Structure formats: structure tokens, C-alpha cells
Amino acid sequence: MAVPTLPQKTESTEAGLFSLPVIVAALGYFVDIYDLLLFGIVRVPSLQDLGLTPDQISTVGASILNWQMGGLLLGGILWGVLGDKRGRLSVLFGSIVTYSIANIACGFIKNVTFMDPTVYYALMRFVAGIGLAGELGAGITLVSEILPKEKRAVGTSLVAGIGLSGAVVAYFTVKYFDWQMAFFVGGGLGIGLLLLRVGVVESGMFKNVTEQDHVSRGDFLSFFTNANRLGRYLRCIGIGLPTWFVIGILATFSNEFGKALGITEEVQPGLAIMWCYVGLAVGDLASGFISQAMASRRKAVMLLMGVALVFSLVYLFVGIQSATALYGLCLAMGFGIGYWAMFVTIGAEQFGTNLRATAATTVPNMVRGLVIPMTLTYQALKPSLDTINSGAVVGLISFILGFYAILTIPETHGKDLDYLEE
């Protein structure tokens, strides 16, 4: 239940679209995406270097991805709660240190002799996942609270649009160097970003809440103690499901779909992921302007989700015959799921200041964590339904839940965020 405006206003902290917090949030998400997608890009070459067979690369690769996504799920709760209890900036600092160290550690996998390298790989991706969970939610929360409501959609879209280009840089780093160097670069970028964070100030809305001792902040369990709040929270998660169906299934396992479609040339998952994220970056930049033009978060997301559905059906059932066409469809599907920033912004806008970081950080990571049952379902259904139909079943469930959630969630365009959850 919402409680109206905070009783004591602090000095306005409204900023411009290109202010330091927005720029730093965008660069932070750039590094976050670089590191988040890096395993998907290096999955095949890194596991080949460790001596795994093609079948092992599929099963062990899916397992390591699930460990990373499990880390994101747990990290989302950890950083979300800390973001409301200790501040948005503390999360931005803590999370980047965690995933930077983990990524540097991943660069030494081939030198590991004290345990099974694939187990070490999974553990390091789990730790990286915990760290990566904090970046986007805390950044979007901070930007949403410092920008005037008329600029929020465009501001958060700029953060995501710039940030998502990190996937392109990750791909070319692997292409022109090697997968080990790519992990070292990711860790180094994180450490460098840490220095930029020094000049960023905390959200005024959050500072005001900290002065009120009676206000409960960062109570994750409170999402489950109120039916209305739980409904909003689950709908926020549902909106994001199609995004990670496209990334986590169609793009990540694009080599398997390529074989099932009869494409004779080799399909590279890393290249499919890169093109997907190029489209996603363009879609995210566009989504803020679409939302402003339509004066509606919901209409903008429904439009883009519809685009993603259409191109997912083309990918699976039209019978594409070349790797180039597959990459082109990854680009188109990426544009369709380019409501990622809008989805996280909706999550931030649905809840009061005392729960906002918890919501904005846990919601996207709950979606990422749900990649685990997606991949398990996909792998389990393949023997009986084949690759194409297994992917289609997972996609059907994802899109049904996604459309239901966006059609029934409250509109937040132009909403004043200066309020509390009771």
C-alpha cells in the first residue's frame, strides 16, 4: 500500500540526461553486460579448450550457465535489500568489486589443478553472477530518482542502450584476442569503473527516507505479505520472461537450432548473442521515446513484445536456411526484447522509495534466475519433442505469461516516485 509523499523534502537532486550519475550508470551497465554475456560468447571455445566433447559442451555449458543464473538470483535479493538499507551507491561499489574479481579468476581456469576445472568454472560464474546482480537495478533506481518524471523513460533507456553495447565489445574482444584475455579485460574494466563512481552522489529520495527511523527499508519478505504488492511484483517478473527466452534459449543455443533447421554452415552462439544484443541496444534506446510518444509504459512494452513474438516464430518455424538469416533474426528478436530497460523501470516505479531498490534489483534477476527452469525444460524435452518444438514450448509459456503481466499491471508513466510502501 502506498503512503503519500515523504514528510520532509530535501534539496532537489533532479539532474539532466547527461549528468554524471546517468553516464556512470550507463558505463556500469556496459561493463555488467560485457561480463554477463561473456560466458555465453566463450562457452564453446572455452569448454573445447578444456577438452570437452560436443555433447558435454551442451550439457556442462548449460550447467555452468545455470550456476551463473543462480548467482544472479541470490545476488539480486542480497543487493536489492542492501540498496534500500545502505543506499544505491553502496550496491554499485560492492557488486562491481565482486564480479571483477570473479571474472579475473575465470581467466585462470586452464591453470587450475587443485579441482575439476569445470567445477571451478561453475563456482566462479556463480560468484560473478552474485556480483553482476546488483548493477542494473541499483543504477536504474538511482537514475529514476534523480531525473524528473518527464525524462525518466528516456534516461533509463539511454543507460540500457549504451550499456547493452558491452555485448558487442565482449564478442570482438574474444574474436581478436582469446577467451582468457576477455575475462581479464572484463575484470579490468570493472576496476576502472570503480574510480568513476567516486564522484556520484546518493539519491535525495533515499537520503530523506534514512532520516525517518520508523520506516522499514529493504524488507524483501514484504513483497509476500500483501496481496496487492505480491501481484505487482509477480507481474513485473512476468514481463521480463520473453527477453531471457530469446537470449538464454534461442541465441545461446543457436548452434543447436541451426543444426535442427538443417543449416549446413557453422552457427556461432557468440555471434548470435552479439547480434541479439545489437538489436536489444537499439530497441532499448527506442523504447524510452516510444513510451514518451505513447504516454504509456504498457503500450510500448506490448508493441515490442509483439515484435519479439513474431520474429521468434519466424526463427523456429519458417525454415531459415543460412547462418546469415539466423543472425539477422537474432538482430530482429533483439530489437523486440529491447524493452529491458523499460521493464526494469516499471519495476522501480511500481514500489515506494523504501522498497524500490529491492524491487528493481530482484525483479530482473528473478527473470535471469528463471533461465534455469527454462534451460532444464528445454534440455528435458529435446529427446521426445526435438530441438525446435522444445524451444517452442518454453517460448509459448514465456510469451503467455509476459503478455498477461503487461496487460494487467498498473500504468506508471508520469508517476511521482516520492512515496513509501506501508
Q: What is the CATH number of the domain that holds 52?
A: 1.20.1250.20
Higher-confidence position of 417 and 217: 417
Q: Which of 131-140, 147-156, 367-376 has the highest mean pLDDT?
A: 367-376
Residue 199 pLDDT:
54
SS3 of 268, please?
A: coil
Residue 378 sits in which domain range? 17-409
Please work out, in degrees rounded to the nearest 5, the angle formed at the alpha carbon of residue 132 by the alpha carbons of 126 and 136. 150
Does the pLDDT of residue 313 top 50, yes or no?
yes
C-alpha cell at 266: 557453422
Confidence at 300, pLDDT banded by 50, 70, 90: very high
Residue 216 pLDDT:
57
Cα separation, 42 vs 94, whole angstroms = 26
Residue 417 pLDDT:
66
In terms of C-beta density within 10 A (0-12 exposed, 13-18 middle, 19 or more buried), how is residue 210 classed?
Answer: middle
Give the mean model confidence (pLDDT) for residues 49-78: 86
**Verdict on whether the full-model pTM lies above 0.75:** yes
Cα separation, 349 vs 415, whole angstroms = 7
Q: Which amino acid is at 48?
A: Q
- The DSSP element (H or E) to which 27 belongs, if any, is helix 20-49
Does the pLDDT of residue 163 top 60, yes or no?
yes
Higher-confidence position of 88 and 150: 150
Domain count, the chain: 1
Q: Which of 11-20, 49-58, 204-213 has the highest mean pLDDT?
A: 49-58
Is residue 121 in some structural domain? yes
Does the pLDDT of residue 98 top 50, yes or no?
yes
Contacting residues for 71 by C-beta, under 8 A, at least 6 apart: 125, 126, 127, 128, 129, 130, 131, 132, 133
Does the pLDDT of residue 9 top 50, yes or no?
no
Is residue 374 in some structural domain? yes
Is residue 9 in some structural domain? no
C-alpha cell at 271: 555471434
Is residue 217 in some structural domain? yes
What pLDDT digit, counting tens, does each position of 187-202 carry? 888 888 777 765 554 4
Is residue 180 in some structural domain? yes
Distance of CA 341 to the CA centre of its chain: 9
Is residue 75 in some structural domain? yes
CB atoms within 10 A of CB 290: 21
Is residue 396 in some structural domain? yes
Cα separation, 386 vs 397, whole angstroms = 17
Is residue 393 in some structural domain? yes
Cα separation, 202 vs 62, whole angstroms = 38
Confidence at 405, pLDDT banded by 50, 70, 90: very high
Cα separation, 347 vs 76, whole angstroms = 13
Rg (CA), the chain: 20
